[in-house]
Amino acid sequence: LSTPTSNTTTYSVTAASSAVTISSSNLNAPIGAPAITYSAVITLTPGNLSGGGTVTFTDNVGSLGAGCGPINVTSNPFTATCTPHAYDGSSAQFGAGTHTITATYSGTANIATSNASLTETIIATPTTTTLTGVPGGSIPYGQVFTLTGTVTPNLPQTPTGTIQFLNGSSPIEIGRAHV
């Protein structure tokens, strides 16, 4: 009589891996520059995977808007693009400063998630400021003169803010200059 034997084998199944790379069409763009396009390449391993899941682009300051995700991943590798609302200074979300742009791949039941980020710096609109009406030489006390400051943007933007006139390092009183 023989004794029955049994063998048990345990298998560990792990999810396939994914990798994301992200790029920008114009890092360090000035406000008002042409729209920036972000591209993300999603690569699945093993290479015979055909896609699945989605990719979404986000900005740490706010939404990038329609067309930036979720975008269905339909091939391997897969390139997704996002052209958000222009950085036009209309709000903090689309204003000057540092923006962390992230492309996140959602993964599937069998493919792991992944993401990649880049830092997009939107530069304030450069301007040229000119001062006219500056009297030359000495000015008798009490003489009236007009100072005019003009701020001209170097891009098609409307400058906002204030101009402050100084006598040395001291602000000039509105309507009166002590020289």
pLDDT in tens, 43-94: 999 888 888 999 999 998 877 888 898 999 999 999 999 988 766 666 656 6
Q: Cβ-count burial of 38 within 10 angstroms (0-12 exposed, 13-18 middle, 19+ buried)? A: buried
Q: What is the pTM of this model?
A: 0.69
Label residue 119 by pLDDT band (50, 70, 90).
very high
Whether the pLDDT of residue 97 is over 50: the answer is: yes
pLDDT for the residue numbered 142? 75
Q: Once rounded to an integer, what is the mean pLDDT over residues 152-177?
A: 71
